[in-house]
C-alpha cells in the first residue's frame, strides 16, 4: 500500500472510529501500535517502558479520537501522544534514584548484521529528540510539519534536530572509517 493510499485508508478508519466502529479502531491500532512502539523504544530504550508508554498513549488515543478535528492528521497526532507519554516517563525516571544502566533491547525485526549494529550504535549516539526526528523523517516518511506535530515542537526545531543529527551521524561513521584505516 503506498503512503498516500495508507493515509486515505487511515482517514476513513478514523471517521469510522469516531462513529463508534470498534473494528476500525482495532485496524488503526494493528497498523500504528508497532510503529508507536518502535518510536517509544527509540526514546526510552527499554522495551518494558516503551510498551507501557504505548499502552498509556493508546488509552488516550481511544478516548480522544472523537475530538481529532482533521482525520488526515491521525499519524502525527497519535505520535504526539506517544511522545508525550515517553516524555512523562523520562521526567519520572530523571527524578528516581539511579538503579542501574538502561539497556537497549534487541531489534524487534531480528536483524543482527554488522551494518545494523553499527546503525544502532550510531542512533544511540544521538540525543533522544534527535533520534526521534531522524527516525520519523527517514523510517516513517513524515514531513517536517508532521514531525513538528508528533514531537510537539516548532518546524524550525525539527529542522535543527535533523541537521544536528545528520552531523553527528556523519562524524560517527567517519570515525568508524578512520578506525578501520588505522586498525
CATH 1.10.10.10 domain range(s) in the chain: 112-183
Which class is 112-183 in CATH?
Answer: mainly alpha
Reported pTM: 0.72
CATH 1.10.1740.10 domain range(s) in the chain: 1-102
3-state secondary structure of 76: helix
Looking at residue 102, its pLDDT comes to 38
Which class is 1-102 in CATH?
Answer: mainly alpha
Instruction: Tell me the per-residue pLDDT of 23-60, one tens digit each, with 9 for 90 and over.
Output: 999 999 999 999 999 999 988 888 999 999 999 999 99
> Which whole-number Å values give the CA distances from 40 to 8, 54, 80, 96, 178, in the listed order?
25, 7, 11, 20, 32
Amino acid at each position: 500500500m503506498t503512503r498516500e493510499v495508507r493515509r486515505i485508508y487511515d482517514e476513513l478508519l478514523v471517521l469510522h472510529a469516531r462513529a463508534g466502529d470498534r473494528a476500525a479502531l482495532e485496524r488503526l491500532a494493528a497498523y500504528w501500535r508497532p510503529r508507536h512502539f518502535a518510536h517509544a523504544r527509540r526514546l526510552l530504550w527499554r522495551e518494558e517502558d516503551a510498551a507501557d508508554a504505548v499502552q498509556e498513549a493508546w488509552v488516550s488515543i481511544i478516548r480522544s479520537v472523537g475530538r481529532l478535528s482533521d482525520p488526515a492528521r491521525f499519524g502525527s497526532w497519535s505520535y504526539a501522544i506517544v511522545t508525550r507519554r515517553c516524555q512523562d516517563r523520562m521526567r519520572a525516571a530523571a527524578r528516581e534514584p539511579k538503579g542501574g544502566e538502561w539497556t537497549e533491547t534487541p531489534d524487534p525485526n531480528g536483524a543482527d548484521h554488522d551494518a545494523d549494529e553499527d546503525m544502532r550504535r550510531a542512533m544511540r549516539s544521538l540525543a533522544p529528540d534527535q533520534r526521534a526526528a531522524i527516525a520519523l523523517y527517514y523510517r516513517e516518511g513524515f514531513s517536517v510539519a508532521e514531525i513538528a506535530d508528533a514531537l510537539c515542537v516548532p518546524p524550525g526545531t525539527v529542522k535543527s534536530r535533523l541537521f544536528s543529527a545528520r552531523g553527528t551521524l556523519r562524524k560517527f561513521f567517519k570515525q568508524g572509517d578512520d578506525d578501520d584505516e588505522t586498525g
